[in-house]
Amino acid sequence: MSQKNALPVTRQEDFAAWYQAVIQEADLAEESGVRGCMIMRPWGYGIWERIQMLLDRKIKESGHENCYFPLFIPLSYFAKEAEHVEGFAKEMAVVTHHRLKMEDGALVVDPEAKLEEPLVVRPTSETVIGTAFSRWLQSWRDLPIMVNQWANVVRWEMRTRMFLRTSEFLWQEGHTAHENETDAMAETLTILQMYRDFAQGPLAMPVIAGEKPENERFPGAVATYSIEAMMQDGKALQAGTSHYLGQNFAHAQNIRFQDREGQFQFAHTTSWGVSTRLVGGVIMTHGDDDGLKVPPQIAPHQIVIVPMLRETPEDEALLAYCAKIRTALIDASAFGEPLRVLIDKKPGKAGPKRWGWVKKGAPIILEIGGRDAAGEQVTMIRRDSLYGEDGRLANQAMHWESFVGQAPALLDQIQTLMFCSAKARLDAEIRDDVTDLEGLKAHFEGSKYPGWVAVDWCRPTGEALEKVVEQLKALKLTIRNTPEGSAPASTTCFFTGGPAVERVLLARAY
Amino acid sequence: MSQKNALPVTRQEDFAAWYQAVIQEADLAEESGVRGCMIMRPWGYGIWERIQMLLDRKIKESGHENCYFPLFIPLSYFAKEAEHVEGFAKEMAVVTHHRLKMEDGALVVDPEAKLEEPLVVRPTSETVIGTAFSRWLQSWRDLPIMVNQWANVVRWEMRTRMFLRTSEFLWQEGHTAHENETDAMAETLTILQMYRDFAQGPLAMPVIAGEKPENERFPGAVATYSIEAMMQDGKALQAGTSHYLGQNFAHAQNIRFQDREGQFQFAHTTSWGVSTRLVGGVIMTHGDDDGLKVPPQIAPHQIVIVPMLRETPEDEALLAYCAKIRTALIDASAFGEPLRVLIDKKPGKAGPKRWGWVKKGAPIILEIGGRDAAGEQVTMIRRDSLYGEDGRLANQAMHWESFVGQAPALLDQIQTLMFCSAKARLDAEIRDDVTDLEGLKAHFEGSKYPGWVAVDWCRPTGEALEKVVEQLKALKLTIRNTPEGSAPASTTCFFTGGPAVERVLLARAY
Ligand SMILES: [Zn+2]
Ligand SMILES: [Zn+2]
């Protein structure tokens, strides 16, 4: 196994095929037979549950309360917010009937059970939540209103890719209403920081936070901010967005209140979300040719113990030894939580089981045989440094108590190293020395995984921006965002030669 | 406030109106404007989150793994399981189109975007999960397969009632496959016990666990078990079900495996679920004429501190005093978790805020004014014993450290007393001395909230059972279940005069 890797395809050979292979070999998800919808299997869903749990804590700590709003939105709600609907892809799932019936022995949609008004399966909930806000809001004393929901949403997609673009996906959507622009912008940026810290913390995924250009704004938003992560093929993944909606939605949905002077005002609203797409980001940030590597903070099991069972009476003593180690481990904490430790008792040989956990990306694997037990030892494999300098699988034997003692620090270290390694790659793969379109073209066509390019621009709007977007589109490039606090390095706009006001990142993107 | 209660209507006056009043006054949920779908507000959704968190732990501890399956199920999947479809209400939401378009300035369903095959919004996921099981299962070594999902489901309802019967609701659905009937029945009953213990533990809601009669089985099931709770109007609420599906679904969906002898066998499957209906059960088990009482284990905040703010500079010291108490409290634990304590800093007078928390049913309310702070005291109100013998609001002053010291035991005690009080009611309201239909009729027509009646029967099937069901229907009664381990008290069947084999519970039901 020294030079051959566990996956049938490498990242260099075919990144897209490698991505699918990781998902399959790590048992993360699978096609469901329902177009565009995937099944999240326990290991994949377990990662999402960890993300959800940790992010939910941050959302609550920052003063938001969870609610639940309806799956269905009457068609007329969308008509209210013209700009929102205009910009939004109209590919949505529409419920038109509410009953099935048997006809000639076959199950069919009952034509008599047609709904008076079609119901749209929510693609996002601004319209229905805004309508609730308009009922809840009377006076400035009711502000801010800060809610969040964890839910499934549907956007009909023609070309789907698991975790990255599926017709149904899971997400959280935060919605808030404020007295004035200052408060609403502060919220929008607080959330942007929360997302950045969450990506760079638990996900160990470095990101660039910044404002999206006008053409990439959420339909109806005044400003859209994103965190952008770089995948190992150099493409950008928009991993979370935070929108300042101004008073646009408030006008459309009559979200108004009596201010401190007794005057009626429209509220300033925000919305923000991250989705199961983050799991795709984790795969393409941390995976290697042996499968996934899951950052310890979001690993459903941080340490997996694989006993070398032989279906003999000695198995019992071996399992008891493993149980003793597990008991000691779950008594310890890392990242402020008890360690998560699994003993894999499934029938089967230890070798394939070990490789199964390598492909799944459990941070630490302990292989324990009769000899280890006799010597009070464990044999440890670290998923983040699988091979030694000789190219062979690196495992390390040590006394079990010694392992237990160092396990929390080890997990902490693995988390940090995973972030640093990804951060070094991100930093190395952003060029800022490209000076014209020709150079841009040469760069992106001359490399298989070309990374990103930072350029200075004049922040054009309207038609001037459209022209830039067209130029980039010809190179399959998009404008990702303007990194926070980035000043232009030069005085002239890359595109128009006019005065530059800020930097923007250009990249191919998912 | 001594004799007048906080709600505009009492349980005795109009139980249904009282139920709606609790939901409104406690800010649990509200109508969404979307027919049959409710909005769960933070306090209502917070109770569901607590239920979800505690039950999820039990589900995982008993060896189940969480997954996520698609929202949409192709119509053809339902056609496979004839008995399932035949029995299941066909009121389902059906997606027939996948796009909207603008036409003459109006947003309409695009007739050209009709789906080739209609998609049903899942009413339950047996069909789609069974199809996945058939892919996952090869050999007996793969068994048991034990998964669970937390999801929204939709069953189109004409008459809806918040939490109890809504078109969309949230639930967990467990699905398992086993080698043989013994294992599958053991799972079915293990879950029944888990539900019973969960209801009687965290929800403090006494239930009777037992098997449903044939006519009340889940469509396609071989046996259905339920937990039944008694609401304060004497009606039964089916609060959770666990189904042994035999090999029926396995046949329909080709869930088969090679057994230990190398022969192909069909698996034995189970499914089981509880839903947001449990919140309705908690309301009608524990609420009183002052609003909801939330059992401490599932209260989003167990202790609410209401500072008597006066919008003066002294407020700052008062808030600091409250913060000191909160810090000490969240350092303590009850039920194995840190205490959940809120300081209600919202603008407004202390009186209405106090009554707001009474109506919401926070287990303990601390009212703290300047005098309390000066004397290092707190003034405590217990939601489970709101009034003293004089009929006036009972509050108790004590040193803050004394309160902190006793808070965990107090919460534990409140939880236990709430259960005992509900249990005493359940036990008192089951009559077993009714001997004939005339007596049954007299009992149920002679009392406003008549409770349940236990009778012995011969466990009829088919037409004989149908006749019994018709007789009961005329009295608006249903058969709830056969309590576990209940032997008949007499030798003759209440309905037919034949030999009795078991007891059954008769009740009006939600
Ligand atoms: Zn320019
Ligand atoms: Zn009988």
State pLDDT tens for residues B464-486. 999 999 999 999 999 999 999 88
Nearest-CA distance from A98 to chain B in Å?
4
What is the secondary structure of B172-192 as a DSSP string?
EEEEEEESSHHHHHHHHHHHH
pLDDT for the residue numbered B95: 97
Q: Which amino acid is at A34?
A: V
Pairing between β-strand B106-109 and β-strand B100-103 as defined by DSSP bridges: antiparallel
User: B98 and A93: CB-CB below 8 Å?
Assistant: yes
3-state class of A393 per DSSP? strand
Tell me the CA distances in angstroms from A506 to A195, A335, A467, A492, A493, one per residue in order: 21, 35, 15, 17, 14
Tell me the CA distances in angstroms from B283 to B72, B237, B274, B414, one per residue in order: 32, 12, 16, 16
User: A131 and B33: CB-CB below 8 Å?
Assistant: yes
Q: Which amino acid is at A448?
A: K
Give the CATH number, domain containing residue B328: 3.40.50.800
**Tens-place pLDDT, residues A46-55:** 999 999 999 9
Omega before residue B296 within 30° of 0, cis: no
Across the interface, of A48, A94, A152, the residue whose CB is closest to B152 is A152
Cα–Cα distance for residue pair B493/B471, rounded to 1 Å: 14
What is the number of alpha carbons within 13 Å of residue A294 lying toward its C-beta? 31
A129-163 burial, b for 16+ CB within 10 Å, e for fewer?
bbbbbbebbeebebbbbbbbbbbbbbbbbeebebb
- Nearest Cα neighbor of B385 from B414, B349, B409 is B414
To the nearest 10 degrees (0 to 180), the angle between helices B277-286 and B42-61 is 110
Tell me, yes or no, whether B252 lies in a domain.
yes
Tell me, yes or no, whether A2 lies in a domain.
no
Cα–Cα distance for residue pair B5/B249, rounded to 1 Å: 52
Please state the φ and ψ torsions of residue B321, each to the nearest 5 degrees.
-60, -45
Q: Which residues from chain A sit within 8 angstroms of residue B275, using beta carbons?
A: none
Query: How is residue A267 written in tokens?
Result: 């509220």
Please give the residue range of the domain that contains residue A134: 15-93+121-286
pLDDT for the residue numbered B45: 98
Residues across chain A: 510
A415 pLDDT more than 80:
yes
- Nearest Cα neighbor of A274 from A334, A219, A207, A214 is A207
Tell me, yes or no, whether B425 lies in a domain.
no
Select from A386, A412, A438 the last residue of a domain. Answer: A412
B375 pLDDT more than 70:
yes
Query: How is residue B65 written in tokens?
Result: 């793994």
Residue with tokens 């008004």: A117
Cα–Cα distance for residue pair B482/B223, rounded to 1 Å: 12
In a shared domain, residues A316 and A447: no
- Nearest Cα neighbor of B18 from B4, B28, B8, B26 is B8
User: B34 and A85: CB-CB below 8 Å?
Assistant: no
User: B70 and A154: CB-CB below 8 Å?
Assistant: no
- Residue B82 banded pLDDT, cuts 50, 70, 90: low
User: B45 and A68: CB-CB below 8 Å?
Assistant: yes
Q: For all residues of chain B together, what is the average pLDDT?
A: 95
Cα–Cα distance for residue pair B340/B328, rounded to 1 Å: 11
pLDDT for the residue numbered B2: 41
Across the interface, of A71, A91, A170, the residue whose CB is closest to B68 is A170
Q: Which residues from chain B sit within 8 angstroms of residue A135, using beta carbons?
A: 30
Mean pLDDT along residues A359-367: 98
- Residue A1 banded pLDDT, cuts 50, 70, 90: very low
Contacts of B55 (CB under 8 A, 6+ apart): B172, B198, B202, B274
Tell me, yes or no, whether A438 lies in a domain.
yes
- Nearest Cα neighbor of B43 from B54, B27, B19 is B27
Q: Which residues from chain B sit within 8 angstroms of residue A72, using beta carbons?
A: 34, 37, 93, 168
In a shared domain, residues B305 and B280: no
Between A231-245, A449-463, B103-117, the lowest mean confidence (pLDDT) is in B103-117
| pLDDT higher at A87 or A456 | A456
Residues B270/B188, Cβ–Cβ less than 8 Å: yes
pLDDT for the residue numbered A80: 73
Task: Specify whether the backbone of A462 is left (phi greater than 0), alpha (psi in -120 to 50) or beta.
Answer: left
> Domain total for chain B?
3
Give the CATH number, domain containing residue B144: 3.30.930.10
Pairing between β-strand B303-307 and β-strand B341-343 as defined by DSSP bridges: parallel
Between A88-92, A151-155, B211-215, the lowest mean confidence (pLDDT) is in A88-92
Query: How is residue A298 written in tokens?
Result: 């979001």
Q: Which amino acid is at A379?
A: T
Whether ipTM tops 0.90, in short, is: yes
- Nearest Cα neighbor of B394 from B412, B410, B382 is B382
Cα–Cα distance for residue pair B303/B293, rounded to 1 Å: 13
pLDDT for the residue numbered B85: 66
- Nearest Cα neighbor of B133 from B150, B145, B148, B151 is B145
- DSSP letter (8 states) at residue B486: P
Q: What share of chain B is helix, strand, coil (3-state, %, to 5)?
A: 35, 30, 35
Tell me, yes or no, whether A340 lies in a domain.
yes
Contacts of B455 (CB under 8 A, 6+ apart): B432, B434, B440, B494, B495, B503, B504, B506
B490 pLDDT more than 70:
yes
In a shared domain, residues B187 and B76: yes
Cα–Cα distance for residue pair A204/A285, rounded to 1 Å: 9
- Nearest Cα neighbor of B34 from A216, A62, A125 is A125
Across the interface, of B46, B66, B107, the residue whose CB is closest to A45 is B66
Q: Looking at chain B, which residue has its C-alpha nearest residue A132?
A: B32
How close is the Cα of A456 to the center of ligand 1, in Å? 8
In a shared domain, residues B307 and B272: no
Q: Looking at the CA of B465, which ligand is closest? A: 2
What is the secondary structure of A178-238 as a DSSP string?
ESSHHHHHHHHHHHHHHHHHHHHTTT---EEEEEPPGGGSPTT-SEEEEEEEE-TTS-EEE
In a shared domain, residues B205 and B72: yes
Tell me which residues have their CB within 5 A of the ion that is ligand 1: A 458, 460, 493, 495-496, 498
**Tens-place pLDDT, residues B325-350:** 999 999 999 999 999 999 999 888 99
Cα–Cα distance for residue pair A77/A127, rounded to 1 Å: 6
CA B462, B179, A307 angle in degrees (round to 5)? 155
**Tens-place pLDDT, residues B391-400:** 899 999 999 9
- DSSP letter (8 states) at residue B291: B
In a shared domain, residues B26 and B162: yes
**Tens-place pLDDT, residues A268-324:** 999 999 999 999 999 999 999 999 999 999 999 999 999 999 989 999 999 999 999
- Nearest Cα neighbor of A406 from A318, A321, A303 is A303
pLDDT for the residue numbered A485: 86
Question: How many Cβ contacts (< 8 angstroms) between chains A and B?
Answer: 182
Cα–Cα distance for residue pair A379/A403, rounded to 1 Å: 9
Nearest-CA distance from A13 to chain B in Å?
29
B349-386 burial, b for 16+ CB within 10 Å, e for fewer?
ebeebbbbbbbbbbbbbbbbbbebbeeebbbbbbbbeb
How close is the Cα of B473 to the center of ligand 2, in Å? 16
What kind and span of H or E run contains A380? strand A377-382
Select from B286, B320, B339 the last residue of a domain. Answer: B286
Cα–Cα distance for residue pair A149/A147, rounded to 1 Å: 7
Residues B488/B501, Cβ–Cβ less than 8 Å: yes
Q: Which amino acid is at A408?
A: P
Cα–Cα distance for residue pair A142/A258, rounded to 1 Å: 10
According to the 3-state scheme, what is the secondary structure of B368-380? ECHHHHHCCEEEE
In a shared domain, residues A157 and A280: yes
In a shared domain, residues A282 and A308: no
How close is the Cα of B111 to the center of ligand 1, in Å? 43
Tell me, yes or no, whether A65 lies in a domain.
yes
**Tens-place pLDDT, residues B12-29:** 999 999 999 999 999 999
pLDDT for the residue numbered B1: 39
Q: Which amino acid is at B39?
A: I
What is the number of alpha carbons within 13 Å of residue A480 lying toward its C-beta? 31
**Tens-place pLDDT, residues B129-163:** 999 999 999 999 999 999 999 999 999 988 899 99
User: B432: exposed, middle or buried (C-beta count within 10 Å: 0-12, 13-18, 19+)?
Assistant: middle
Q: Which residues from chain A sit within 8 angstroms of residue B170, using beta carbons?
A: 68
In a shared domain, residues B405 and B443: no
The residues facing B343 across adjacent strands are B305
Cβ neighbours of A337 (radius 10 Å): 12
Across the interface, of B42, B120, B346, the residue whose CB is closest to A67 is B42
In a shared domain, residues B147 and B233: yes
Task: Specify whether the backbone of A450 is left (phi greater than 0), alpha (psi in -120 to 50) or beta.
Answer: alpha
Query: How is residue A444 written in tokens?
Result: 């992106």
**Tens-place pLDDT, residues A97-146:** 999 998 888 889 999 999 999 999 999 999 999 999 999 999 999 999 99
Among B24, B30, B98, the residue to mutate for chain A (most A Cβ within 10 A): B98
Tell me, yes or no, whether B111 lies in a domain.
no
Select from B252, B286, B320 the last residue of a domain. Answer: B286
User: A100 and B75: CB-CB below 8 Å?
Assistant: yes
Give the CATH number, domain containing residue A496: 3.30.110.30
pLDDT for the residue numbered B62: 97
Tell me, yes or no, whether B7 lies in a domain.
no
Strands of the sheet containing B377-382, edge to edge, are: B341-343, B303-307, B364-368, B377-382, B395-399
User: B168: exposed, middle or buried (C-beta count within 10 Å: 0-12, 13-18, 19+)?
Assistant: buried
**Tens-place pLDDT, residues B204-213:** 999 999 999 9
Q: Which residues from chain B sit within 8 angstroms of residue A94, using beta carbons?
A: 95-100, 109
Query: What pTM was estimated for this model as a whole?
Result: 0.96
Q: Which residues from chain B sit within 8 angstroms of residue A78, using beta carbons?
A: 100, 107
In a shared domain, residues B259 and B354: no
Count helices and strands (H / E) in chain A: 14, 28
User: A78 and B107: CB-CB below 8 Å?
Assistant: yes
Residues A79/A127, Cβ–Cβ less than 8 Å: no
Q: Which residues from chain A sit within 8 angstroms of residue B32, using beta carbons?
A: 69-70, 128, 132
User: B42 and A70: CB-CB below 8 Å?
Assistant: no
pLDDT for the residue numbered A2: 41
A164 pLDDT more than 80:
yes
A422 Cα distance to chain centroid = 15
In a shared domain, residues B305 and B215: no
